[in-house]
């Protein structure tokens, strides 16, 4: 059982009793007042060791139960979430001038995205809080993930997605038995509507950033990057950024491991945004300590999962990435689509656009030589099968033939 201590506002620092507050700091409001989950680290320093995780016998993110805020592991769903493969590609690393290149394939989670790490945990929080109906707005992955984990736990999910969410993600929602509202509007519109509905009907809200426990699930990717590399995490970690919660989770995970003495240095986390949807990268450029300032944008990108104009975890993302020496980089949609093919053809890992954005960011940064001699990891946050239409924009059609050898010869 995690030694949960309090929830602390990222902006004003007020600490709240987790039993008394579900979402954000009432004084700072939903954007500035996102909450950090704090633990009793003095106790954890005595109980948590490098060996204690493997000793749980779990090949899932629940091997880190000691650092997660749930009351009872008996609620953990049977689905295997996390402990996803970390592949090494030494030849590709050489091509980039890197000392090592690793791909963390989170497309292999139960519903095929990184979001499963957060959903697994938040569904348990809903059960602990005796909230049988859970809701969220999502560009698609958080929703399909919540729908899947709700099904596994016997909860009802009510989902709000923008009308342009990719077909496969919507199909997942319906297959898992969620009640699905396809909102005529953007993801940002769907987000506000879900929050209003959660309030009106008493549903437990899993929408990005406002629920403090999401980042806790998302930090487990960092734990795995450290443990799977024998406690020598990579120098640099690339990840696609929309609302900013995944990148915040990775930073928090590395920081917690460092404070507990499990790793010696904290990797630089590089958040990758699509050029047409990069308000967090802009806020980061303007940040020089103190208050995080941000401007919302009208977002456009082929990478639907990170097409977010009004990022809800911008304050945390900018604060955390700056604190650990990371940065942000933006990539064009064309570079993202190229990265899908480049990644698939050099590693065998097929990513959706937002999942390949991390690789597009690495390719762009490698050209400026700032990565020379470093070890780097690319987090693939979603499977390519989530959005085949985008990938098909970059590949030709198959060759249609009659079933004869002659026909094959004609095309060779």
Ligand X SMILES: Cc1ncc(COP(=O)(O)O)c(C=O)c1O
Is 29 among the residues that bind Zn ion (CB under 5 A)?
no
Token representation of residue 399: 């060759």
Residues 32-91 within binding reach of ligand X (CB under 6 A):
none
- Give the binding range for Zn ion (CB under 5 A) out of 24-32, 284-292, 361-369, 380-388: 24-32
E strands present in 175-223: 179-183, 204-205
Orientation of helix 245-259 relative to helix 220-228, angle to 10°: 50
Residues 329-358 within binding reach of ligand X (CB under 6 A):
352, 354-355
Binds ligand X by CB under 6 A, chosen from 242, 253, 309, 361 = 242
CA 111 to chain centroid: 13
Which residue sits closest to ligand X, CB atoms considered?
Answer: 382
- Give the binding range for ligand X (CB under 6 A) out of 149-157, 175-183, 241-249, 394-402: 241-249
Q: What is the distance between the alpha carbons of residues 80 and 211, in angstroms, rounded to a whole number?
A: 22
Binds Zn ion by CB under 5 A, chosen from 4, 7, 18, 28 = 28
- Give the binding range for ligand X (CB under 6 A) out of 9-17, 93-101, 152-160, 240-248: 240-248
CA angle 351, 356, 359 (to 5 degrees): 130
Q: 127 or 358: whose CB is closer to ligand X?
A: 358
139's contact among ligand X, Zn ion, none, with CB below 5 to 8 A by partner kind, is ligand X
Binds ligand X by CB under 6 A, chosen from 166, 244, 279, 361 = 244
Q: 7 or 354: whose CB is closer to ligand X?
A: 354
36 strand-pairing partners? 8
- Give the binding range for ligand X (CB under 6 A) out of 50-58, 65-73, 139-147, 157-165: 139-147
E strands present in 198-300: 204-205, 236-240, 268-274
Q: What is the distance between the alpha carbons of residues 190 and 226, in angstroms, rounded to a whole number?
A: 36
282's contact among Zn ion, ligand X, none, with CB below 5 to 8 A by partner kind, is none
**Least CB distance to Zn ion at residue 21 (A):** 11
9's contact among Zn ion, ligand X, none, with CB below 5 to 8 A by partner kind, is Zn ion
Q: What is the distance between the alpha carbons of residues 170 and 180, in angstroms, rounded to a whole number?
A: 8
**Least CB distance to ligand X at residue 381 (A):** 3
**Least CB distance to Zn ion at residue 20 (A):** 15
Q: What is the distance between the alpha carbons of residues 175 and 96, in angstroms, rounded to a whole number?
A: 42
Binds Zn ion by CB under 5 A, chosen from 7, 22, 23, 33 = 33
Q: 198 or 246: whose CB is closer to ligand X?
A: 246
Token representation of residue 238: 């690339």
What b/e string do you get for 326-339 counting C-beta neighbours within 10 Å, with b at 16 or more? bbbbbbebebbbbb
With CB under 6 A as the rule, give the number of residues binding ligand X: 21
A 10 A CB-CB count for 409 gives 8
Binds ligand X by CB under 6 A, chosen from 127, 305, 330, 375 = 305
Q: In a 3-state reduction of DSSP, which class is residue 63?
A: helix
Under 8 Å between Cβ of 271 and 321: yes
Judged by phi (left if over 0) then psi (alpha if -120 to 50, else beta), residue 44 lies in alpha
Token representation of residue 225: 């990057």
Is 221 among the residues that bind ligand X (CB under 6 A)?
no
Q: Which residues contact 299 (CB under 8 A, 6 or more apart)?
A: 186, 188, 276, 277, 279, 307, 308, 309
Q: 66 or 103: whose CB is closer to ligand X?
A: 103
245's contact among Zn ion, ligand X, none, with CB below 5 to 8 A by partner kind, is ligand X
**Interface contacts to Zn ion, rule CB under 5 A:** 9, 11-12, 25, 27-28, 33
**Interface contacts to ligand X, rule CB under 6 A:** 113, 115, 139, 141-142, 208, 240-247, 305-306, 352, 354-355, 381-382
């Amino acid at each position: 059982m995690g030694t949960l201590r309090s929830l602390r506002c990222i902006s004003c620092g007020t600490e709240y009793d987790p039993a008394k507050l579900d979402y954000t700091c009432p004084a700072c409001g939903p954007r500035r007042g996102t909450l950090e989950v704090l633990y009793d680290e003095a106790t954890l320093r005595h109980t948590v060791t490098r060996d204690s995780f493997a000793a749980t016998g779990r090949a899932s993110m629940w091997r880190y139960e000691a650092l997660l805020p749930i009351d009872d592991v008996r609620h953990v769903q049977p689905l295997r979430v996390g402990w996803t493969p970390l592949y090494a590609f030494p030849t590709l690393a050489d091509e980039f001038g890197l000392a090592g290149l690793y791909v963390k394939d989170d497309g292999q989670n139960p519903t095929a995205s990184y979001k499963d790490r957060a959903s697994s945990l938040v569904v348990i929080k809903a059960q602990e809080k005796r909230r049988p109906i859970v809701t969220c707005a999502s560009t698609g992955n958080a929703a399909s993930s919540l729908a899947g984990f709700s099904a596994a736990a016997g909860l009802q999910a009510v989902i709000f997605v923008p009308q342009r969410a990719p077909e496969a993600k919507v199909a997942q929602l319906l297959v898992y038995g969620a009640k699905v509202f396809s909102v005529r509007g953007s993801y940002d519109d769907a987000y506000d509507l879900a929050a209003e509905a959660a309030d009106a009907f008493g549903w437990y809200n899993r929408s990005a950033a406002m629920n403090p426990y999401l980042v806790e699930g998302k930090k487990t990717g960092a734990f795995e990057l450290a443990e799977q590399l024998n406690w020598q995490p990579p120098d640099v970690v690339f990840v696609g950024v929309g609302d900013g919660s995944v990148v915040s989770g990775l930073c928090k995970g590395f920081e917690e491991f460092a404070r507990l003495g499990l790793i010696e240095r904290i990797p630089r986390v590089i958040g990758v945004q699509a050029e047409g949807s990069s308000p967090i990268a802009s806020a980061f450029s303007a940040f020089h300590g103190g208050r995080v300032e941000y401007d919302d944008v009208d977002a456009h990108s082929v990478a639907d999962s990170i097409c977010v104009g009004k990022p809800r975890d911008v304050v945390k993302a900018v604060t955390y990435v700056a604190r650990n020496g990371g940065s942000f980089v933006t990539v064009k949609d064309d570079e993202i689509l190229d990265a899908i093919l480049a990644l698939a053809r050099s590693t065998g890992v097929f990513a959706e656009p937002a999942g390949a954005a991390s690789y597009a960011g690495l390719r762009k940064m490698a050209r400026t030589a700032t990565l020379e001699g470093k070890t780097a990891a690319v987090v693939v946050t979603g499977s390519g099968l989530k959005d085949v239409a985008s990938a098909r924009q970059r590949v030709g059609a198959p060759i249609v033939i009659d079933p004869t050898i002659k026909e094959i010869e004609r095309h060779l």
